C-alpha cells in the first residue's frame, strides 16, 4: 500500500472513532518517517496516536546538525528521537501524549489560541492543549542555537485542518 493510500486510510480510522491506530492496536517503530510538515502521511499516523488532541505535531527541518534517528508510534502516543552531530554529543526528544507527565515549568507566550507553553529547565518546552501535550526535551551538550533550532522545528497543526485537508482530497477509489 503506498503512503498516500495509507494516509487516507489512517484518517478514516480517525473519523470512524475506532481509537488510536484502529482496533488492531498495532504500532509503528523506526520505519515511520518523522512527521514532516510537508508530508501529511506520517502526520496522519501520528494524529492517531493521540486521537483526542486538538493539535498534532509535525517537524520542519530542524537544521543545526539535528538528525532524526528513531520514531515510535503506538496507542500511547508518539516519541521522536534526534541526535546532534555524528558524535551524538546531545540528544533530543519530541513526545506527543494525551497529557504531560511533567506539567511544571515557567509559562511563556504561545502565540497560538488554545495552546499553553511552559519553558522546562535546563532545555525544553511543553505545549499543552485540549486532549494533548507535546514535550520537547534536549539532553547533553547542545549550544543555545542548536536547542532553539530543535524547539522551533516543532510545528503544531490543528486537527480540524488535517481533517479538512483529507476530506478535500480524499477519493474513494484510492482505497
Q: Which three cell numbers stand for residue 61?
A: 527541518
Cα–Cα distance list, 12 to 29, 50, 56, 75, 130 (Å): 21, 15, 16, 16, 21
The answer to whether residues 13 and 23 touch, using CB atoms and an 8 Å cutoff, is: no
pLDDT tens-place string over residues 63-77: 778 888 899 999 999
The answer to whether residues 72 and 30 touch, using CB atoms and an 8 Å cutoff, is: yes
- The range of the structural domain enclosing residue 22 comes to 3-174
The answer to whether residues 19 and 53 touch, using CB atoms and an 8 Å cutoff, is: no
β-bridge partners, 100? none
The whole-number pLDDT of residue 56 equals 96
β-bridge partners, 51? none
Query: From CA 46, how far away is CA 56, in angstroms rounded?
Result: 7
- Sheet with 90-97, strands from edge to edge, namely 28-29, 66-74, 77-84, 90-97, 132-140, 124-129, 116-120, 106-108
pLDDT tens-place string over residues 81-137: 999 876 667 889 999 999 987 667 788 888 899 999 998 877 889 999 999 999 999
User: Over the chain, what is the mean pLDDT?
Assistant: 78
Q: Considering only 8-22, 112-126, 139-153, which range has the smallest mean pLDDT?
A: 8-22
The whole-number pLDDT of residue 121 equals 78
- 167 by DSSP, 3-state: which? helix
% of the chain exceeding 70 in pLDDT? 75
**Number of domains the chain contains:** 1
Number of DSSP helices (H) and strands (E) in the chain, helices first: 4, 10
- 77 by DSSP, 3-state: which? strand
Going along the chain, which residue ranges are E strands? 28-29, 55-59, 66-74, 77-84, 90-97, 106-108, 116-120, 124-129, 132-140, 154-158
Amino acid at each position: 500500500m503506498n503512503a498516500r493510500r495509507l494516509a487516507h486510510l489512517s484518517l478514516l480510522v480517525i473519523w470512524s472513532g475506532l481509537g488510536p491506530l484502529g482496533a488492531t492496536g498495532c504500532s509503528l517503530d523506526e520505519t515511520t518517517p518523522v512527521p514532516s510538515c510537508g508530508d501529511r502521511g506520517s502526520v496522519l499516523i501520528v494524529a492517531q496516536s493521540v486521537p483526542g488532541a486538538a493539535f498534532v505535531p509535525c517537524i520542519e527541518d530542524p537544521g543545526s546538525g539535528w538528525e532524526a534517528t528513531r520514531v515510535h508510534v503506538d496507542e500511547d502516543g508518539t516519541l521522536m528521537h534526534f541526535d546532534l552531530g555524528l558524535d551524538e554529543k546531545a540528544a533530543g526528544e519530541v513526545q506527543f501524549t494525551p497529557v504531560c507527565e511533567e506539567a511544571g515549568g515557567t509559562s511563556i507566550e504561545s502565540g497560538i489560541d488554545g495552546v499553553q507553553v511552559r519553558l522546562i529547565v535546563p532545555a525544553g518546552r511543553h505545549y499543552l492543549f485540549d486532549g494533548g501535550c507535546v514535550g520537547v526535551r534536549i539532553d547533553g551538550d547542545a549550544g543555545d542555537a542548536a536547542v532553539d533550532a530543535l524547539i522551533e522545528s516543532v510545528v503544531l497543526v490543528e486537527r480540524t485542518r488535517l481533517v479538512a485537508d483529507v476530506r478535500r482530497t480524499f477519493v474513494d477509489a484510492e482505497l
